[in-house]
């Protein structure tokens, strides 16, 4: 058999950081601060909602539901986003439920990006954007967030990583179809300011470019920062697809329920991809997520709201991890949002000698050595860069701090012991 079997659209995208590092963590890690999932339970009210859905009298929850979203879920999502965006939404045309935010992203790129279209991706970026653009036949065009360390010697924060306005503007051309915005940003935790979003919005309107706005960490912002939805800015609603995740919103990453919110002129095409791929996601999970949102709608802004309690809890974990990393000299970049924290590994580099001209970035080799020899899993920052820029920041690894106190303490103990041994 000599005929090639692989479709050309898969060329160069066969490697995946999560497949590789999840396996390493499963094999070697004692403490896993790698892949972004909580090791604490999903909230009681969500688990109770699933139990009710499973054992309740409505046996039709075990059967197909509406392809573009279980009616109770699209209705409550529309109500929620009407409140957040200050505009009327039709649950049947402005909302679609997907198999996690991953599938929402897939639908966006497959539905909106054609051969030869360019898509601007802000680096560092959640790794799937590049392969998904390529699978759609598009060309990714990268623009970096550049670190501007504070002059007063304070710890850097994700806010210190900024776009250069002229550099960003230079990436827009008549071939630009879309820009991917991820705020709060994985892996840095950057929460884009109104000024930064205004710059992006202005360029999108000027060049008639779409905005794929990945907002899965929308509730995870700290220090009183506000998450601003770019779709609420002048001229952006009509050209923006907002992506969300029940996995990140309700600490239930294994449920794989996500959604897109946006104008029908865009979502009609995402529905075409959706109905010709997964068709719909688990009815029973959608029912439980709908009940979760109904609770949150009632408690919106109140202290007992999960969307108020979770960021409060995570900020304490973040601050604890910052202290612990700073204590062993692993300078952290303070994240304004998400549940990730990037740290500088310089003080520990002597244990993992550099290999000149290695085609694997240093931080990747360091992270693999660390999980194998210290039992601590983390993700190399180079995993969030394009091939051409992977070697720009190889002194950093990313930790996930959505973990039980005992897990974070165990990680700190490993680092302290390692530091003492040096």
- Least distance CB 419 / ligand IK2 (angstroms): 26
Decide: helix, strand or coil at residue 334: strand
342 pairs with which residues across the strands? 333, 398
Q: β-strand 332-333 against 340-344: which pairing, if any? A: antiparallel
Nearest residue to 253 (alpha-carbon basis) of 289, 287, 229: 289
Q: What contacts 300, CB < 8 A, 6 or more positions away?
A: 83, 307
Residue nearest to ligand IK2 (CB): 100
User: Which span sits near ligand IK2 by CB under 6 A: 98-106, 225-233, 342-350, 366-374?
Assistant: 98-106
Give the Cβ contact number of residue 261 at 10 Å.
27
31 pairs with which residues across the strands? 376
Retrieve residue 234's tokens: 């002048």
- Least distance CB 214 / ligand IK2 (angstroms): 5
Position 341 contacts ligand IK2 (CB under 6 A): no
- Least distance CB 74 / ligand IK2 (angstroms): 17
Position 258 contacts ligand IK2 (CB under 6 A): yes
Position 186 contacts ligand IK2 (CB under 6 A): yes
Retrieve residue 138's tokens: 């598009």
Of 75 and 248, the one with the shorter C-beta distance to ligand IK2 is 248
CA atoms within 13 A on the CB side of 404: 9
Residues 188-217 that bind ligand IK2 (CB under 6 A): 214, 216
Contact 187, 380 (CB under 8 A): no
Position 118 contacts ligand IK2 (CB under 6 A): no
The one among 79, 139, 162, 253 contacting ligand IK2 by CB under 6 A: 253
Position 123 contacts ligand IK2 (CB under 6 A): no
Position 126 contacts ligand IK2 (CB under 6 A): yes
The one among 80, 102, 161, 418 contacting ligand IK2 by CB under 6 A: 102
User: Cα separations (Å) of 381 from 56, 95, 386?
Assistant: 45, 33, 11
Q: What contacts 276, CB < 8 A, 6 or more positions away?
A: none
- Least distance CB 36 / ligand IK2 (angstroms): 3
- Least distance CB 69 / ligand IK2 (angstroms): 15
Interacting residues toward ligand IK2 by CB under 6 A:
35-36, 100-102, 126, 182, 186, 214, 216, 245, 247, 253, 258
């Amino acid at each position: 058999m000599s005929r090639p079997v692989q479709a050309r659209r898969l060329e160069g995208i066969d490697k995946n950081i999560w497949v590789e590092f999840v396996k390493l963590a499963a094999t070697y890690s004692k403490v896993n601060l790698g892949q972004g999932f909580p090791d604490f339970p999903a909230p009681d009210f969500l688990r109770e909602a699933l139990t009710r859905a499973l054992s309740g009298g409505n046996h039709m929850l075990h059967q197909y539901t509406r392809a573009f979203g279980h009616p109770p879920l699209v209705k409550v999502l529309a109500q929620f986003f009407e409140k957040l965006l200050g505009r009327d939404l039709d649950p049947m045309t402005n909302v679609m439920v997907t198999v996690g935010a991953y599938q929402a992203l897939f639908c966006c790129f497959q539905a909106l990006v054609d051969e030869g279209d360019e898509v601007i991706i802000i680096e560092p970026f959640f790794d799937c954007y590049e392969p998904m653009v390529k699978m759609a036949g598009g060309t990714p065009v990268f623009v970096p967030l550049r670190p501007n360390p504070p002059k007063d010697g304070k710890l850097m924060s994700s806010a210190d990583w900024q776009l250069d306005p002229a550099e960003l503007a230079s990436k827009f051309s008549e071939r630009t179809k879309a820009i991917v915005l991820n705020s709060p940003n994985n892996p840095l935790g950057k929460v884009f300011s109104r000024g930064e979003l205004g710059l992006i919005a202005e360029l999108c309107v000027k060049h008639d470019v779409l905005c794929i706005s990945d907002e899965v960490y929308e509730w995870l912002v700290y220090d009183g920062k506000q998450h601003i939805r770019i779709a609420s800015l002048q001229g952006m609603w009509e050209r923006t697809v907002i992506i969300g995740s029940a996995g990140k919103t309700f600490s239930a990453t294994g449920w794989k329920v996500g959604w897109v919110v946006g104008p029908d002129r865009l979502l009609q095409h995402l529905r075409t991809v959706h109905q010709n791929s997964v068709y719909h996601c688990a009815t029973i999970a959608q029912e439980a997520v709908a009940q979760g949102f109904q609770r949150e709608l009632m408690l919106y802004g109140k202290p007992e709201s999960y969307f108020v309690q979770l960021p409060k809890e995570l900020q304490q974990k973040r601050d604890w991890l910052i202290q612990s990393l700073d204590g062993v000299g692993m300078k952290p970049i303070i994240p304004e949002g998400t549940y990730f924290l990037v740290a500088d590994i310089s003080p520990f580099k002597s244990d993992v000698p550099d290999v000149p001209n290695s085609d694997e970035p240093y931080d990747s080799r360091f992270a693999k050595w660390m999980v194998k020899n210290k039992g601590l899993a983390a993700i190399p920052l180079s995993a969030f860069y394009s091939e051409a820029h992977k070697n720009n920041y190889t002194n950093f690894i990313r930790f996930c701090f959505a973990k039980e106190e005992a897990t974070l303490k165990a990680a700190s103990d490993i680092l302290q012991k390692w530091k003492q041994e040096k």
